[in-house]
Amino acid sequence: MTAPHAERPHEPKHHEPDYVRAVDDLTERLAGRVSRDDVQAAIDEARSQIEPQSTVHDFLELLVERRAREILLARSKSGSETSERV
């Protein structure tokens, strides 16, 4: 019998961000306004801004998704995307 707090080798030590799901969710929320490729590019940009300085990964997916939404909003306001609010 293993101790209740013993680490199991098959379980991650912390939450691994699921960026595919983040792209899927954001693409679905913005359907018809922003393409999946644009969402993926915004997620990639947000990751490059946030991940290097991140020390805690538990909320990284949420922070990256939020930043990606801000990026898409800024692009829509500048006219490089649709003019609808994202």
Q: Which of 32, 22, 24, 19 is nearest to 85 (CA)?
A: 32
At 36-82, the pLDDT tens digits run 999 999 999 999 999 999 888 888 999 999 999 999 999 988 875 44
84 within a domain of the structure (yes/no)? no
Q: What integer pLDDT is reported at residue 18 of this predicted model?
A: 87
CA 15 to chain CA centroid, Å, is: 13
Model pTM above 0.75: no
12 within a domain of the structure (yes/no)? no
The number of distinct structural domains making up the chain is: 1
At 1-46, the pLDDT tens digits run 555 555 545 454 555 678 999 999 999 999 989 999 999 999 999 9
Q: What integer pLDDT is reported at residue 81 of this predicted model?
A: 45
What's the domain range around 69?
Answer: 31-78
